[in-house]
Amino acid sequence: MTGQSILDVIGGTPALWLDRMVAARGLDGRILAKLDYLNPGFSKKDRAALGIIELAETQGALHPGQTVVELTSGNMGTGLAIVCGQKGYPFVAVMSRGNSVERARMMTALGAEVILVDQIAGSVPGQVSGADLAEVDRVAQQIVAERGAFRADQFHHVGNAQAHFETTAAEIWTDSAGTVTAFADFAGSGGTFGGTVAGLRAKKAQVRGYVVEPEGAAALSGEDVTHADHPIQGGGYSMATLDFLRGTSVDGYLSVTGEVSRDIARALAREEGIFGGFSAGANVAAALELLAGPEKGGVVAVVICDSGLKYLSTDLWD
């Protein structure tokens, strides 16, 4: 792929069959891993960032030179820093101090103004809760009002899910030669799950969709939240509803512990050479569980959401 701008090479990421991992565990079926950590910003959020900004431009909601503001765990902020930098929009990323420092440094290097928000009392560094996110959202709203800015609003802006409908789903379908039977994804904004499942079902209505959540914070499945703090950054915020899941049939919910996510992320690096983050470990752990259960003999697609380079200051690689 050759482009005139870095924006031209967002998406179109390679995919890899995780046959080594599946065979080593004696499972029946296949896992297709979409390597979105190879996007320019090292995460799947580059797709959503480009989708939101370009749709806002088309709709006239974003004006030339206007400031863009968004709350982020770091990945959407990195994507927006790249997109806004190329298009000439000042960008302000608002992020909890509970997220890894690599993310803030990367956004700053890409030209973003980064505002770090203290965690609420009792929160654990490295473990961002829904309450922490709510405080980040409050600060983001305040900055939008003060600066007359455009809010990218990844939890609600249709450009998020639309990007995954148009690109991620289409690529997974092609990468799997139309053999994919299920898609599983760790829920953050829900845009990847909602958009990708809808896109895959437009190709084949029988494709099943599974939402992945942290154990103890599986609010979307209807469970009581007993452990809102967890190390799987970028999602699992104990939200009972997500806009992008409304109207999308969910075939099942899986919960994964931080420990299992960590172990599988490390196994991905050793066994498959994939240097992904915590949520990549959660997604592959869920896919392995599915092949041992309801998707035995099937083809489960997952996204490797971001790079392990964003977690060097955490215990993921200790």
Averages of pLDDT over runs of 10 residues in the chain (318 residues) are: 92 98 98 98 98 98 98 94 98 93 94 96 82 93 98 96 98 98 96 98 98 95 88 86 94 97 98 97 98 98 97 91
Q: Are both 143 and 49 inside the same structural domain?
A: yes
Alpha-carbon distance values, 282 to 12, 146, 187, 198, 210 (Å): 23, 38, 10, 22, 12
Q: Are both 166 and 301 inside the same structural domain?
A: yes
Name the residues annotated as catalytic: 45, 279
Count the domains in the chain: 2
Q: What local confidence, expressed as pLDDT, does residue 43 receive? A: 97
Q: Are both 19 and 49 inside the same structural domain?
A: no
Give the end of a domain, one of 94, 123, 151: 151
Is residue 202 in a domain?
A: yes
For every residue of 165-215, DSSP letters joined together read: IIIIHHHHHHHTTT---EEEEE-SSSHHHHHHHHHHHHH-TT-EEEEEEET
Q: What local confidence, expressed as pLDDT, does residue 306 receive? A: 97
Q: Are both 50 and 188 inside the same structural domain?
A: no
Q: Residue length, the chain?
A: 318
Q: Are both 193 and 279 inside the same structural domain?
A: yes
Q: Are both 35 and 177 inside the same structural domain?
A: yes
Q: Are both 277 and 132 inside the same structural domain?
A: no
What CA dihedral angle connects 135, 139, 142 and 147, to 10 degrees?
-160
Give the end of a domain, one of 151, 173, 207: 151
CA distance 33 to 206: 20
Give the end of a domain, one of 117, 151, 185: 151
Sheet with 208-214: list strands edge to edge.
15-17, 30-34, 299-303, 182-186, 208-214, 252-256
Q: Are both 203 and 288 inside the same structural domain?
A: yes
Domain of residue 249: give its range.
Answer: 6-43+161-317
**Domain of 225: which CATH number?**
3.40.50.1100
